[in-house]
Amino acid sequence: MSRFFQATFAISIFAVNLGAQSPAPTSPAPSPSGRLPQAQSKSPALPAASPTTEDLVNSLGPADLQAVITLLKGNFTNSDAITDIELNRATVEGLLVRLPRGVMLLSGKENVPSAAPSGFYGEVIAGSIGYVRLGSLNSANLQALDKSLSNFGGKKVNALIVDLRASQATDDLALAAEFAKRLCPRGKTIFTLRKPAGRQDRGFNSDRDPAFRGLVMVLADGDTAGAAEAIAAALRFYDKALVIGQPTAGRAAEYSDLPLPTGKILRLAVAEMISPEGRSLFPEGIKPDLPVEMSLADKRQIFQLSGEKGMDPFVYEAGRLHMNEAALLAGTNPEVEAAEAAQRRGRAPEKPPPHDLVLQRALDVITSLEVYQKR
């Protein structure tokens, strides 16, 4: 390992440790126009924000980096902390910190985490809106998607919500691309796997006509990973789909697990996925067009229960008493009275089911667009 890289990442680790002891700098809030407020003529000018530790480390050139290592070795109070093996460990640790989605160190092949497959779910909501939760991108769920899209054709479904919030990363990228082919135009690139210089890129294109032609919404969050992120990008590009929810995982890459001499595993991103417009999806992932916050725990509970109850109970509130104008004029409160009645019966007030705010926002957008188009 070159001394330049040793120096770079050793400094990263020392700087991170020092930075943890320093308060984060603050800066003045921008005005509604996006510009910083101007200082009043009678007030002193605001001090410039101090550079962060990361800024300082990134500003060091090769000469500075080598000088820091030399000075550390010759002057630091604990010489055992600046040995070559410690510098190498600092290099690896620095890579893991700076490239969290691209470099991972695993304790062994038997400890490599593998997510349990997630099943497909589909239904028609509000009479004309198709909802499909793709789940894991495997052959069984692809067949289920084909069946649902075929059924939607006979039910006059005019809008489709594609839920990718349970679609984990998969190694079978060709199979993952088949899901996007059901919704993307024939002959178009779904995504490209870009490899390091000197190696041939691999393109995944649609070779069939889409099974649905209409308004499309995509739901995504931090559980949307790998090729599912590429599918979301393709639907946004070709179908003008809005992505609703939270940022995706930022793991739209092909990974290789490389064994180390002691049996540990070094997992590396060896190729990145490129969207149809040519933008890399790794490691930034996809930012939603309409951000909606929702806890992962609530979402997973809803997905678990939806197989029995459908999605309606988690989108539409039914049978729950609310404060209204009549109650206000009568001086009553139905919500409080319901809670008191439950207490008299010796039962705790019934807890409302979790609410799928992300799906609700997608339904609201579709309904609004339909109303606008009918005007």
Q: Is the pLDDT higher at 230 or at 344?
A: 230
pLDDT of 262 = 93
Q: How confident is the model at residue 350 (pLDDT cuts 50, 70, 90)?
A: low
The model's pTM? 0.78
Residue 128: pLDDT above 60?
yes
- In single-letter form, the type of residue at position 349 comes to P
- Rounded to an integer, the average pLDDT of 202-227 is 97
pLDDT tens for residues 47-91? 788 999 999 999 999 999 999 999 999 999 998 899 999 999 999
Q: Out of 3.90.1110.10, 3.40.50.300, 3.30.565.10, 3.90.226.10, which CATH number does the structure's domain 121-291 have?
A: 3.90.226.10
Q: Are the CB atoms for 287 and 247 separated by under 8 Å?
A: yes
d(CA 375, CA 373): 6
Q: Is the pLDDT higher at 175 or at 334?
A: 175
d(CA 25, CA 38): 20
pLDDT tens for residues 189-200? 999 999 998 789
- Rounded to an integer, the average pLDDT of 218-239 is 98
Residue 151: pLDDT above 80?
yes
Residue 159: pLDDT above 80?
yes
pLDDT tens for residues 265-307? 999 999 999 999 999 999 999 999 999 999 999 999 999 999 9
Q: How confident is the model at residue 9 (pLDDT cuts 50, 70, 90)?
A: very low
**Mapping DSSP to helix (H, G, I), strand (E, B) and coil, where does residue 269 land?**
strand
Share of the chain above pLDDT 90, in %: 69
d(CA 286, CA 216): 17
The end-to-end CA distance of the chain, in Å, is: 68
pLDDT of 238 = 97
What does the block give as tokens for 103? 């470099």
Handedness of CA 209, 214, 215, 216 (dihedral sign): negative
Q: Where do the CATH 3.90.226.10 domains begin and end in the chain?
A: 121-291
pLDDT of 138 = 97
Q: For tokens 């793709």, what's the residue?
A: 134
Cβ neighbours of residue 301 closer than 8 Å, sequence gap 6 or more: 354
Q: For tokens 């028609």, what's the residue?
A: 124
pLDDT of 147 = 97
Which of 44-58, 236-250, 345-359 shows the lowest mean pLDDT across its residues? 345-359
Across the chain, what does the average pLDDT equal? 85
Distances in whole angstroms, Cα of residue 97 to Cα of each of 10, 41, 100, 103: 12, 44, 6, 9
Cβ neighbours of residue 352 closer than 8 Å, sequence gap 6 or more: 317, 320
